[in-house]
Chain A
Amino acid sequence: MEPAVPLPGTQDLLFEAARSLRRCEQALAAVFEQAGYAEVIPPAIEGAEIFGVEAFRALDKSGKLVALRSDFTAQVARIAATRLAGVSPLRLWYRGSVVRRDREQIDERVQAGCEYVGAPGADADAEIIRLAAGSLRALGLNDARISLGSTGYFEALARAAGVSDRLAQALHGAIDRKDLPTLRALCEKEVAKGLARDALLILAQPPRPKEQAEDLLARARSVAPGDDALAALQRLTDVLVRCRDVEGLEVDLGEVRGLGYYTGVVFNLYAAGAPQPVGGGGRYDTLLGRFGDPRPAVGFSLNLDALVPLAC
Chain B
Amino acid sequence: MLTIALPKGRLQTPALERFVKAGIVPDEEPGASRKLIIGASRGARFVILKDGDVPLYVERGAADLGVCGLDQVLESGADLMVPIDFGFGRCRLCLAAPAASKLNAELGRSLRVASKYPRLTAQWFARRGVPVDLVRLSGSVELAAVSGLTDAIVDLVESGRTLAENGLTVVDEILQVSARLVVNRAAYRLKVEELLPLLEALG
Residue A236 CB within 8 A of the other chain: no
CA distance A181 to B180 in the complex (A): 10
- Which residue in chain B gives the minimum CB-CB distance to A181? B85
Which B residues between 170 and 203 are near A, CB-CB below 8 angstroms? 183-190, 192, 196, 199
Partner of B83, one of A178, A250, A270, A272: A178
Chain B residues with CB under 8 A of A147:
189
CA distance A180 to B85 in the complex (A): 9
Q: Could you tell me if A275 and B77 are in contact, using CB atoms closer than 8 angstroms?
A: no
Q: Could you tell me if A178 and B189 are in contact, using CB atoms closer than 8 angstroms?
A: no
CA distance A100 to B186 in the complex (A): 22
Known contacts A207-B189, A250-B189, A270-B190; is-contact A179 B79 (Cβ 8 Å)? no
Residue A61 CB within 8 A of the other chain: no
Total interface residues on B, using CB and 8 Å? 22
Residue A40 CB within 8 A of the other chain: no
Partner of B186, one of A180, A182, A207, A274: A274
Chain A residues with CB under 8 A of B82:
177-179, 182
Chain A residues with CB under 8 A of B199:
206
Residue A103 CB within 8 A of the other chain: yes
Residue A191 CB within 8 A of the other chain: no
Distance (Å) between the CB of A272 and the closest chain B CB? Answer: 6
Residue A145 CB within 8 A of the other chain: yes
Known contacts A206-B196, A275-B61; is-contact A145 B190 (Cβ 8 Å)? yes
- One digit per residue, 1 when the CB lies within 8 angstroms of any chain A CB and 0 when it does not, for chain B 66-107 equals 000000000001011111110000000000000000000000
Chain A residues with CB under 8 A of B187:
275
Chain A residues with CB under 8 A of B83:
178-180, 204
Residue A277 CB within 8 A of the other chain: yes
Residue B151 CB within 8 A of the other chain: no
Residue B51 CB within 8 A of the other chain: no
Known contacts A103-B77, A206-B192; is-contact A275 B84 (Cβ 8 Å)? no
Known contacts A275-B59, A276-B79; is-contact A181 B189 (Cβ 8 Å)? no
- Which residue in chain A gives the minimum CB-CB distance to B62? A275
Which A residues between 147 and 171 are near B, CB-CB below 8 angstroms? 147
Total interface residues on A, using CB and 8 Å? 22
Residue B60 CB within 8 A of the other chain: yes
Q: Could you tell me if A275 and B60 are in contact, using CB atoms closer than 8 angstroms?
A: yes
Partner of A275, one of B85, B186, B192, B196: B186
Q: Could you tell me if B189 and A275 are in contact, using CB atoms closer than 8 angstroms?
A: no
- Which residue in chain A gives the minimum CB-CB distance to B79? A276
- One digit per residue, 1 when the CB lies within 8 angstroms of any chain B CB and 0 when it does not, for chain A 6-49 equals 00000000000000000000000000000000000000000000
Chain B residues with CB under 8 A of A145:
189-190
- Which residue in chain B gives the minimum CB-CB distance to A255? B189
Q: Could you tell me if B81 and A178 are in contact, using CB atoms closer than 8 angstroms?
A: yes
Chain A residues with CB under 8 A of B190:
143, 145, 270-272
Starting from the known contacts A181-B84, A207-B192, A275-B187, 14 additional A-B residue pairs (CB-CB under 8 Å) come to: A178-B82, A178-B83, A178-B188, A180-B84, A181-B85, A207-B188, A271-B186, A272-B190, A275-B59, A275-B61, A275-B184, A276-B61, A276-B79, A277-B186
- Show the binding face of A for B, using Cβ within 8 Å: 103, 143, 145, 147, 177-182, 204, 206-207, 250, 252, 270-272, 274-277
Q: Report, nearest first, the 5 A-B pairs whose CB atoms are least far apart.
A: A275-B61, A181-B85, A270-B189, A178-B83, A178-B81
- Mind listing 17 A-B residue pairs with CB under 8 Å? A145-B190, A177-B81, A178-B81, A178-B82, A179-B83, A181-B84, A250-B189, A252-B189, A270-B189, A271-B186, A274-B61, A275-B59, A275-B61, A275-B184, A276-B59, A276-B79, A276-B185
